[in-house]
Structure formats: C-alpha cells, structure tokens
Structure 1
C-alpha cells in the first residue's frame, strides 16, 4: 500500500495537544478507510503538522481526516519509508510516556539539509589514482563525522553526500568539522564544497524536502567559496546560540535573500536551456531581467564567473557525466550539451579538465 506524507497548516490557537487529539481520532477511525496512521510531526512555532499514513490512495487519506476531525491536508505527497526515516528520524510514534493517555508529540518536521560535494578539477592520468584515494579518505571521514553531530546520511553517491539534521547548530558544527578534515590535507586538484539550507518536508513539489535539497545543491554547485549557507540558516543558528554571530567565521559565506532568489532563478533557467546550441548570454539577460552589466556584476559577486564562463562550465560538467556513461559518441555529446561543434567542445573540455574527451572512458 502506498505511503503518504501530508501537510496541515494549523490555525492560530491550535497546539500540539490538539494535534495529538486529531491523530488519535485518525487511529480510531482509520480502519473504515483501509488506512494506517504511523506517526505525525507538530511544529507549534511554524503552525504546521505532518501526518505519515499508509493509504490506498490520496482520496482515502483525505476522507479519513475529514471524517475523523475535519482537518483537510493542504498538500499530500507519496513517500518512501526509508527516505522518511533518513530525513526525519522515525516512521512511527515515539513510545508514549507512562500514565499519559494522549501521546503528545511536539516534534517539528523542520530539518536542516546539508550537501557536500567533492569534485575533481583534473582528469589527467597521473592525477586520477591520487585523487581517487583522497576522495575515498574524505568519504570515510564524512561518514564518521556526521553521526557525531546527530546527523543522518540520507544519500551518498560517488562524490556527493546528502545529510539531514534536527538543528541548525549541529549542521553548522558538522560542516565546520568536515571542512577542517579537508583543510588538513593538501589536494589542490579537488574542489570541496558544502551547502546548507533548511525547510519543511512537504511543499508544492512532489518530492520530500525537494525545495530545500535543491537550494543546498545549488549552494554546493555554483556559489563561490567552499562553505555556503542561506541567511535563514544564519538567523536560526544565532537564535539557537544566544546571538553568537557566524560572521566571525570567514570560511562561511552567507547569501542574502536577494542572492538566493537570483541563484534559484539562474539555475532554473539554466537547467531548462543548457542543451540548446543557440542559447547565449543575451537569453540570460532577457529571462532574468538583468542588464548586461548588472548580470555580469551579480554573477561575478555570487558565482565568481562571467555568464559565458558559467554556461560553458555547466555544459562541460554535463558532458563529463555523459562521457562517463559511455552511451553516446563524443560528437553526439558535444551537440547534446549545447556546443556548436565537436572540435570546439574538445578544446573547451581539454582546457577545463586537462584531457581530451576521448580519454575520459579510461577512468
């Protein structure tokens, strides 16, 4: 049976005790709708609650809520139990305290999401084995450090890590420790980047924490500097730590709300057009609503690259992924990634990675 996570926006005055009563009403009624309520999260501060329910379909979940207590969810997404537990820490109600009739769970589903990416700047044969060894060492360190800060490793790919933390402080301190482990070893051909943002699990997107993951990914992908966070993370950290400022830590870059909005707009547009050979900087100016000079200044300040260099590097990164899959020829990949000719593609690729595209398959 499918598993669903829903969002309830709580009216003023509704407390965790009220939500506990509604959860109990669900449990008392669920058999009538072939549903099974597993647990819930309640955040009095942000006025949100989330229910995790096995149900035949979304309509059965809605009918259950409507007839049990009348609180219809604002949004419902289908989820995987393993992923939910990785992000939120549990998939069933905590054990009820003795002599307590109602299991009140005042546990927010708001989480801090950290993405760490390790990227190789070189693909030259003399560097590859050294870099692979270094990446394995960093990966081992990261997996050992995360649990020390109550973090959960949600997903690991070859050189990428997605983590969830209950508090901003744990995420920041974990990120600093991970950064220190990288700074302790000189590996000039590796780029080591951390991005941290926070949010709720259910939004208008289909995936759990989709907006928050996207922001953390963008921070670790394109923002200059090795450790980037949103201004919301900075504010939350200072709120948790009696206004201790993060600005004294020069290794952490805080992007403001306007920069975050620009970053999202830039990446959303880039992801929609990067494969088109006719796309140029004029398209960025038009679609982002920036003049040529303002776009250049904003890109250099936030990304550290001109619009032309940013688009070229984005395409080359996509091309590298395709080359590693070995499912197309170099000429096909050149055109698929928006380059005007295979010769120009090979020239750009060699300049960035130190090898020709034809040599990537050997790695």
Structure 2
C-alpha cells in the first residue's frame, strides 16, 4: 500500500499537545478507512504539521481526517519511506514517545538541504578521469565532514550530493569544512560548489522537499561563488550566532527578491530550453521585467548576459546527454535547441575544451 505525507497549516493557538490529540483521534478510526498512521511532525514556530500515513489513496486520508477531527490537509503527496527517512531521520514515532498516553512529538520537519555539485572543468573530458585514489580521498573527505556534522546523505552520484540537516548551523559549518578540506587535500581537478537552502517537505509540488532542492540546485549551478546560501539559511544562521561563518569570503548570500527571480526564470527555462525558437526576449515576461531590467539582473547575479546564460544552460544539458550516450552529436545538438550541429560543436569546444564526440562513451 502506498505511503503519503500530508501538510496541515494550523492556527497560532495550536500547540504540540493539540496536534498529538488530533493524531490520537485519527488512530482511533483509521481502520475504517484502510489507513495506518505511521508518525507525524509538528513545527510550532512555523505552525505546520505533517502526517505520514499508509493509505489506499489520498481521498482516504482526507476522509479519515475529516471524520476524526475535521482538520483536512492542505496538501498531500505520495512518498517513498526510504527517502522520507533519509530526509527526516525516521518513519515512525520516536522511541521516547511510543509508550506515552498522549504521544506529543514536538519535532519540526523543517530541514536545511545541501547540494554539493562537481563542476565540469574546461580541461576535463570523459577520456580524462581523475585517479581512483584522488576520487576515493575526495568522497571519503566529504562523507567524514557530513557525518561529523549530522548530515544525512539523501542522494549521491559521482557528480552530486544531496544532504539533509536538522541544524542550519551544522549545515553551514559542514559547507565551510568541505571547502577547507578540498583546498587542503588539493582537489584542484575536482572543482565543486555548494548550495544551501531550507524548507519543509510538502508544498504544492509533487515530490518531497522539491522546492527546497530545486532552489539549492539552481543557486549552486548558476550563481558564481564557492558556497551559495539562500536568504532563509543566512537569516537562521545569524540567529544561531554564525555571523562569523556567513561573512566568510567564499560564501555568497542571496536576497529574497533574487531567489524569486531565479525561481521564476528557471521554471520558465526548464520547460522551454529545448525549443530552438526560444529567444532571450521571451525571458522578460515570466520574470516580470523589461529587457533592460532582465539583462542587468541576470548579469549581476550570474555574470552572464541572457544569450550566454541560455547557451551555457543548453551546453550543460548537452554534456549530460553525451555522457549518457543518448544519441549522436547532431541529434543532441538539435535536442538541446541548437539549430546547427557545427555551431553546437564550436560552442561546446570553446566551453569544455574538447569536441562533443570526445565525450561520447562509445569513443572512450
């Protein structure tokens, strides 16, 4: 049976005890709806509660809540239990709460999400890989820092880490330690960037922490700097007496309006980048800016003009497709919005220092 996580936005007067009582009422009648309440989280500061429920469908959860206490969820998404545990640390009630008469769990589901991305160096090609010893040392160093700062690795590939932290302080501290280790161990051939964002597991999106992960990945990918920090992470870090860390030279702190701009722009580009008819003039409307305002804003944030930004975005997509061996050079050129394979190859060579064909696994 599938597992769902729902979100309840509650009033300021609601306490952890109130939420525990509502959860208890759910458990009394859950069998009638084919549901099984696994656990819940409550964030008193943000006045949000999240229930993890095994159920035949979303409607069964709504009906159960409605009959039990009338508090119908604002949002429901289907989740994977392993992923939930990776992000939040548990999929059942904490042991200290399991034997209590009223199971009060004052545990927020708010998390700081770290994205560690290995950049594609200009001199790197699929035919020139780092040594096994260097890569092993690189991964060991990252895992050590994450473990000592209570970071939970949610996803890991050779180019990407997604990590969940309960403490924003430890997330920022881990970021600085990773960069310090990188310089100390001379991982010059493995350039990496770190993006930090923070949020809750269920929004209007369909995946757990989707908004938070999207922002962390996007700021990591497009904003120059070694560590890019969202406005909320910076604000929370300040309240945790981490001003010393936040003011470090290698950290870039975004403002709320800059995050909004990035989100609006990238939502549009993510859905249109493969269209060869797409023009940078089209960016202005979704961003709510004039052409000149868009140019200045994008140049300030990314150091790139709209034309260069779109071209580099497409080249990055093309690089991923080439490494996956999804087609030949011409096919990938057209798929990523280039109208000419020769122009695509020229741009690719200039960006990465190698022709596209060198990246194809078949030619390795």
TM-score (norm 2): 0.94
Q: Secondary structure at the match of 1:129?
A: coil
The answer (yes or no) to whether the contact 2:154–2:164 under 8 Å persists in 1 is yes
Deviates more, 1:23-32 or 1:335-344: 23-32
- Structure 1 residues 325 and 22: CA distance shift in structure 2, 3 A: same
Q: Secondary structure at the match of 1:120?
A: coil
Q: Secondary structure at the match of 2:119?
A: strand
Q: Secondary structure at the match of 1:130?
A: coil
Q: Deviations over 1:19-72 (max 9, x none)?
A: 111111222221121211110001111111111011111111112112222211
Query: Residue 97 of structure 1: CA displacement?
Result: 5.3
Query: Residue 262 of structure 1: CA displacement?
Result: 1.0
Query: What does residue range 313-328 of structure 1 map to in structure 2 within 5 Å?
Result: 313-328=312-327
Structure 2 match to 1:142: 142
Query: Residue 199 of structure 1: CA displacement?
Result: 0.6
Structure 1 match to 2:62: 62
Query: What does residue range 2-17 of structure 1 map to in structure 2 within 5 Å?
Result: 2-17=2-17
Structure 1 match to 2:81: 81
Q: Deviations over 1:222-241 (max 9, x none)?
A: 11111001111111111122
The answer (yes or no) to whether the contact 1:118–1:159 under 8 Å persists in 2 is yes
The answer (yes or no) to whether the contact 1:142–1:178 under 8 Å persists in 2 is yes
The answer (yes or no) to whether the contact 2:168–2:233 under 8 Å persists in 1 is yes
Deviates more, 1:287-296 or 1:311-320: 287-296
Q: Secondary structure at the match of 1:164?
A: strand
Structure 2 match to 1:152: 152
Q: Deviations over 1:153-199 (max 9, x none)?
A: 00112210000011110110111111111122445454311000111
Query: What does residue range 210-249 of structure 1 map to in structure 2 within 5 Å?
Result: 210-241=210-241, 244=243, 246-249=245-248
Counterpart Cα distance in 1 of 2:83 and 2:225 = 30
The answer (yes or no) to whether the contact 2:201–2:209 under 8 Å persists in 1 is yes
Structure 1 match to 2:265: 266
Counterpart Cα distance in 2 of 1:168 and 1:125 = 36
Structure 1 match to 2:341: 342
Q: Deviations over 1:81-122 (max 9, x none)?
A: 000000011000112459842121000011111100012213
Runs of 4+ residues over 6 Å off in structure 1: none
The answer (yes or no) to whether the contact 1:85–1:91 under 8 Å persists in 2 is yes
- Structure 1 residues 65 and 259: CA distance shift in structure 2, 3 A: same
Q: Does 1:275 align with 2:274?
A: yes
Counterpart Cα distance in 2 of 1:99 and 1:212 = 34
Q: Secondary structure at the match of 2:196?
A: strand
Structure 1 match to 2:350: 351
The answer (yes or no) to whether the contact 1:96–1:103 under 8 Å persists in 2 is no
Structure 2 match to 1:31: 31
Query: Residue 133 of structure 1: CA displacement?
Result: 5.4
Q: Secondary structure at the match of 1:128?
A: coil
- Structure 1 residues 2 and 29: CA distance shift in structure 2, 3 A: same
The answer (yes or no) to whether the contact 2:126–2:359 under 8 Å persists in 1 is no
| Structure 1: runs of 5+ lacking an equivalent | none
Structure 2 match to 1:175: 175
Structure 1 match to 2:93: 93
Structure 2 match to 1:250: 249
- Structure 1 residues 24 and 124: CA distance shift in structure 2, 3 A: closer
Counterpart Cα distance in 2 of 1:304 and 1:133 = 35
Counterpart Cα distance in 2 of 1:178 and 1:170 = 12
Counterpart Cα distance in 1 of 2:189 and 2:151 = 28
How many residues of Structure 1 are paired with residues of Structure 2 in the alignment? 362
RMSD: 2.0
Query: Residue 246 of structure 1: CA displacement?
Result: 4.5
- Structure 1 residues 348 and 284: CA distance shift in structure 2, 3 A: same
The answer (yes or no) to whether the contact 1:135–1:159 under 8 Å persists in 2 is no
Structure 2 match to 1:329: 328
Q: Deviations over 1:104-151 (max 9, x none)?
A: 100001111110001221355698233775444322221221111111
The answer (yes or no) to whether the contact 2:4–2:77 under 8 Å persists in 1 is yes
Counterpart Cα distance in 2 of 1:286 and 1:57 = 38
Structure 1 match to 2:109: 109
Q: Secondary structure at the match of 1:45?
A: coil
| Structure 2: runs of 5+ lacking an equivalent | none
